[in-house]
Each structure stands twice: as structure tokens, then as C-alpha cells.
Amino acid sequence: MSGTPKFVVESFTTVPLVELVFAMPAGSALDPKGREGSLVLALRSLRRGAGGRTSTQIDDEIDRLGAELSTGCDALQCSLHATVIARNLEPFFALLAEIALRPTFREDEVARVRREITAELIDARNDDRTLCGRYFRRNLFAGHPLGRPSAGTLATVATLTHQDASDAWKRVWSTKEMVVAAAGDITEAQLRALWDKYFSKGWAPTRERPAEIAEPARKKGRHLVIIDKPARTQSQILIGTLGTHPKDRDHHALYVANTVFGGTFTSRLTQEIRSKRGWSYGASSRLGRERVREAFTMWTFPKATDAPDCIRVELSLLEALCKKGVSARELTFVKKYLKESAVFDTDTASKRLSQRLDEACGDMPAGYHEKFVPKTQEVTLEECQRALEKRLDPRNLLLCVTATASDSRAALEKSIRGLDSTTVIPFDRDEYYP
């Protein structure tokens, strides 16, 4: 049985380059329990041997063709991403077909990739921001696929085999709703012809799109998680809760309100935390976007001794936002900012392709990106207020801080009114909460 994926193309012939994306609406959420990291292992092992080529031969051929090849993976989606000089598009497409259709997953090569992933997991302990983000998500989405570590943990990765990698690749590669996308010096007709020539006989999709994942549950109460790392003079702070979904009726209103709060260099967070008090060079808030409800987060990185006061001010700012909403002046400024800055989201074929892939692979309303700016221009003060009251509750927050617990715990706890729990996690402990 053969099949045809969905094709998405953004042509731009001025520069003789072609960007290719094979996007599959299936991700690490499909890894079996206890085998977390299987899909990432598979994706990174693809170029380690395929057909009759060794890893060295594949790397040499990619270099000879003036190309690059990488992979991406999160809980709900994975992809192959490549760029190649236009004149070498066909031989590179043939190589991609060999890599995707006939990967060998040799045990010795997969073992090398496994060691690389293990080293990266250990090395990430040196990055305080990465640690903070890692344990924020694992706690906010505990028990949900969004909280599972795509790359696995040290314990799960150590047990993975070449068979785990092979099985993981088959699970996602056989998904019927794959999207093959391209941007640059290529037409849709060319892309279809290349697919028919090199892939159509070997791609036999057998799996329906994975069942939609349930909405994550909101974490009730205020909870502090300290990633305990010795001798910290600076802290990393992530504060958040569940945010928005593109299909929410108040999605655009919440986006506008968040931009007022922490989405620009003149936002409330930036002014109060950076400009007035000088606690943190960066101070921002964002709304994640996925096929299910993602997180709303505030991020700062003050000096360790300033962290308690910084948290206190952040919480008071959020409480004021949810209680009083935004002002008419702020709303006018942000609408203008969103309208004028939108050009930077579509000024290259690659960016336009990314937006179209969002809609092709994600659970998004048709024309989401095209209609985004017009929708934001229609938002009223009352709609912002209702969205904030419905979606963001300052009483229900997860606060994750990378700090030295023995020095900071008491002051951090004191800075959080109505704190329900404190959890201290050693920075070198690698676990998640299934």
C-alpha cells in the first residue's frame, strides 16, 4: 500500500537554496512507558547508517551536496529538516529517501548516539536556565505527555537499544498525515515529482494520526520547586500556569493582554523588574501554543539575594493584571506594535512555511496566522479583562527556581503568600513524574 502526504510549498527563487521539512504529527508521547527517549534516539540515529551507506559516507555525501540535515522532536510532533543548494536538490532528495526508508539502526551506531544523548543530559546540568525549564515542565505537566522528557532521562536512555530506535521510527514514519514541505527555489510540482520518484513506492502509511491527547489539568494552589544547586549567586525563575489554546474564543484577547504584561521591552514586567529596580536584565512573559493547552510563563534571572523580592513583585504585578486588566493606552500601543511587527513573521519564505506547517500539523483554526493581526485589532478592554479572569488565576501557580536551597529556601517561601508546598530537587537528579 502506498500513500501521498500533504504537500506545502513556499516558492522563492531569488536565492538558489531549498529548505525541506518532513513533519509528522506524532512525537515522543508515543514512546512506551519506561522507554522515554526512544524517538529522539531514532531520529538522531537515522544518518548513522542507511541502505548500503555507513555514517561516514552519509556525512560526506551531505557535505558534498552542500546540504544540512537535522531532526526535531517534542511530545506531539517530530520532523526531518534539511537545506540544500538548489542544483543538488534531486541527488539530496534521493539520499533523504535512502535515510528515511532504509535506516539500518546498527547496534554499535545507536550505542554511540545513546552515549551522546547521555552526555548532553549530564551537560545540561551546567545551564541553570535549562534546569529551571526542565523541572518547570515536568512539574506543571506531571502525569501528562507534555511533561514527559522527549530525550528521556539518564535511567531510560541507558536501557534503550537499537530495536527501541527502530520501533520508534516505524511508529512515526508510518503516520498517514505526514506533511512534506519546502521553501525556496522549488515549486510544488517539483516537490511532488521528487516524492513520486523516490518515496512513493517505499512509503506505506498504516497508522492513523495518533488520538488527540487530553487537555492537561490545572495545578491547584501555589507550589514552589527549588532546583538545588550549590554556590548559586544568580537565580533562574519561571512562574506559570496553564495558558491558552488557539481555538479558545478568548485566545487573541489573552495574547494581547500578555503582550501588555510581558511581551515587549516597554511591558509592565520589563519596566518594574529591569528598568526601575535593575534586578534582572531580562523579564518577560509568554503564552505557549500547542495542540493542547500550553503554559503561560514569566521568566526572570535576578541575583540570588534579589530573588525573593523579585518574586514578590512579579506576583503582585500578575495579581494587579488579573484584577484590573489593561489600560486603554496600553491596549492602543500593543495593537499598533502587533500590527507593525507582524511583517517580521513573514519576511522570508522559511518563516511563511513555518506558519503554514503550524496549521497543517497543529490543531489550529484555518487561516490562523493570516487572521491573527486582524483578530488582535478587534480586541476590546472588556475582552482582555474577561480572558484574564478566566484563564489566569494568580492563586494557582507553579514557581520554579534554580538556587542554593540552604541559602534561599526560607526567604523564597516567605516571599510567596499562600504557599501550599515546597519541593527541593537536587540539580543532578534526573527524573520525571509519569
**Residue-wise burial string across 54-65, b where 16 or more C-beta atoms lie within 10 A, e elsewhere:** ebeebeebbeeb
Co-location of 39 and 91 in the same domain: yes
Co-location of 191 and 247 in the same domain: no
The CATH number of the domain where 403 resides is what?
Answer: 3.30.830.10
Co-location of 93 and 148 in the same domain: yes
Q: Report if residue 205 sits inside a domain.
A: no
The string of pLDDT tens digits covering residues 253-280 is: 999 999 999 999 999 999 999 999 999 9
The string of pLDDT tens digits covering residues 10-22 is: 999 999 999 999 9
Q: Report if residue 217 sits inside a domain.
A: no
Co-location of 282 and 399 in the same domain: yes
- The single-letter code of the amino acid at 128 is D
Percentage of residues in the chain having pLDDT higher than 70: 98
Q: In Å, what is the CA distance from 196 to each residue of 3, 191, 192?
A: 10, 9, 6
Please state, in angstroms and rounded to a whole number, the distance separating the CA atoms of residues 235 and 404: 9
DSSP characters for 59-125? HHHHHHTTEEEEEEE-SS-EEEEEEEEGGGHHHHHHHHHHHHHSB---HHHHHHHHHHHHHHHHHGG
Co-location of 185 and 65 in the same domain: yes
The string of pLDDT tens digits covering residues 170-229 is: 999 988 889 999 999 999 999 999 999 999 988 988 766 666 788 999 989 999 999 999
The secondary structure of residue 362, as a DSSP letter, is S
432 pLDDT above the threshold of 80: no
Please state, in angstroms and rounded to a whole number, the distance separating the CA atoms of residues 30 and 380: 41
Residue 341: its pLDDT value, please? 96
Output Rg (C-alpha) for the chain, integer angstroms.
Answer: 23
C-alpha cell at position 13: 527563487
**pLDDT confidence bin for 1, thresholds 50/70/90:** very low
Residue 291: its pLDDT value, please? 87
Number of structural domains in the chain: 2
Q: Report if residue 292 sits inside a domain.
A: yes
The string of pLDDT tens digits covering residues 30-87 is: 999 999 999 999 999 999 999 989 999 999 999 999 999 999 999 999 999 999 999 9
**pLDDT confidence bin for 434, thresholds 50/70/90:** low
Co-location of 26 and 170 in the same domain: yes
Place of cell 519546502: 182
Q: Report if residue 347 sits inside a domain.
A: yes
Residue 433: its pLDDT value, please? 74
Residue 148: strand, helix, or coil: coil
The string of pLDDT tens digits covering residues 360-409 is: 887 788 899 999 999 999 999 999 999 999 999 999 999 999 999 999 99
- Of 123, 119, 135, which Cα lies nearest the Cα of 236? 135
- The single-letter code of the amino acid at 225 is V
Please state, in angstroms and rounded to a whole number, the distance separating the CA atoms of residues 208 and 205: 8
- The single-letter code of the amino acid at 360 is A
Q: Report if residue 207 sits inside a domain.
A: no
Q: Report if residue 291 sits inside a domain.
A: yes
**pLDDT confidence bin for 108, thresholds 50/70/90:** very high
Co-location of 322 and 181 in the same domain: no
Q: Which residues pair with 49 in a beta bridge?
A: 54
- Show which of 139, 163, 198 is a domain's final residue: 198
Q: Report if residue 204 sits inside a domain.
A: no
| CB contact at 8 A, 24 and 78 | yes
Co-location of 236 and 170 in the same domain: no
Backbone angles phi, psi at 12, to 5 degrees: -155, 100
Residue 4: its pLDDT value, please? 86
Owning domain of residue 394: 222-426
The string of pLDDT tens digits covering residues 134-177 is: 999 999 999 999 999 999 999 999 999 999 999 999 999 988 88
Q: Report if residue 324 sits inside a domain.
A: yes
Residue 425: its pLDDT value, please? 96
pLDDT mean across residues, the chain? 95
